[in-house]
Structure 1
């Protein structure tokens, strides 16, 4: 009998054991991405995003839905994720059969950015998987879910980027599969700090421009 397990109930140890996913030492963004300077328009738009979020945060806890609306949606628009050939999907269901275990891990991804080929012949390429939490939850609590969902893409592509955020803090993760699936954590970024906010948008833009291989 197959045991159904919700991804939201997994710990990091569970993810490592069930998916044979190995954590490597932390890395920097510039190990994998080219970060370009922001334009004056981008800096001003980023400042508005920060101000809107701070106003809501000062009033109390921000729900997961509002985190998406106030930060993720405008940041992705500004970074180019709304443009062709990128296609966004939300609340996509996912199921992973665990090797050597009579269990199946299921869950729903919050946001998935796909590079969708215009000829409908090439395979879909997962660009970025995002897991959002409300502002009162530490981003580390969403890491097992994010890793589980991102792991699914390694069946069809060599690597993928993931992000877990509570609106204030942003934890990017880089997953790849050579002989064994691995992941690396990137520096934690804070939207309310100017250097962190600038680097956050730079990372979004760079990930958006990645070709269908990494």
Structure 2
């Protein structure tokens, strides 16, 4: 019987070793995505999200649930993730058999955006995997869980975007499977910085549109 490992208990080195993952040098969003200018409406809505988060942050630590409610949900709506043919799921379980080892890694991803299986897309396509933490936890602590969850998608597609956030900071990564699985971290974005918030929404909008290329 295989040894069951919880993804949340693994270190980054564990994930690299078990999944044979290699980290590449920090990437650039524009190597993979095309940004569009934000409309005036989008900028105003984004400012409201920033202000709401700042107001709660001044009161102290923001729980993981509130991070989803205050930032992830409105940002994803604004970026287009609530529209057809995308479907959002939450708290989905994943299990990965570790190659050449009698182990199995299990995890539970916070939010997954996929194409709607009943759309015209030929097969299920994972668009974005999101791991959230409370505002007091550094985003780097969520990377092992995020990488494990996102790795599952490589069974059926060649690449996927992932995001780990504590509400304030947003760390995107791009995971690929070519000769061997690799990933690149993207520049860290800060919701409280005007330029960072704008780029954050531009990234989400661009990732959201990737599903159209699978149709």
TM-score by length of 2: 0.97
**Structure 1 residues 191 and 11: alpha-carbon distance in aligned structure 2, compared to 1, 3 A threshold:** same
1:81 aligns with 2:77: no
1:69 corresponds in structure 2 to 69
3-state DSSP class of the match of 2:210? coil
Instruction: State how many pairs are aligned.
Output: 214
Shift of 1:182: 0.4
1: CA distance between counterparts of 2:96 and 2:212?
23
Corresponding residue SS for 2:65: helix
Instruction: Extract structure 1 runs of 4+ deviating beyond 3 A.
Output: 117-121, 211-214
| Residue 52 (structure 2) aligns with | 52
Going from structure 1 to structure 2, the CA distance change for 1:120 and 1:202 (only over 3 Å counts) comes to closer
The CA RMSD measured in Å over matched residues stands at 1.3
**Structure 1 residue 119 displacement after superposition:** 4.8
SS at 1:16's partner residue?
helix
Q: Residue 209 of structure 1 aligns to a residue in which SS?
A: helix
Query: Separation in 1 of the partners of 2:182 and 2:71?
Result: 28
Map of 2:191 onto structure 1: 191
Question: 1:131 offset after TM fit, Å?
Answer: 0.1
1:179 to partner: Cα distance: 1.0
Alpha-carbon separation, structure 1, partners of 2:37 and 2:55: 27
Partners of 1:121 and 1:74 lie apart in 2 by: 26
Q: Which residue of 1 aligns with 2:152?
A: 152
Q: Secondary structure at 1:106's aligned position in 2? A: strand
- Encode CA deviations 1:8-54: one digit per residue, 9 max, x unaligned: 00101000000001100111100100011000000000000000000
Give how far 1:212 is off.
6.2
Q: How far apart, in 2, do the equivalents of 1:213 and 1:48 lie?
A: 31
Cα shift readout 1:119-157 (whole Å, capped 9, x = no counterpart): 577211000000000000000000000000000000100
Distance 1:114 1:38 in 2: 24
Paired residues for 1:121-200 under 5 Å: 122-200=122-200
Structure 1: any 5+ residue segments left out of the alignment? none
Give 1:118 deviation, angstroms.
3.3
- SS of the equivalent of 2:155 reads coil
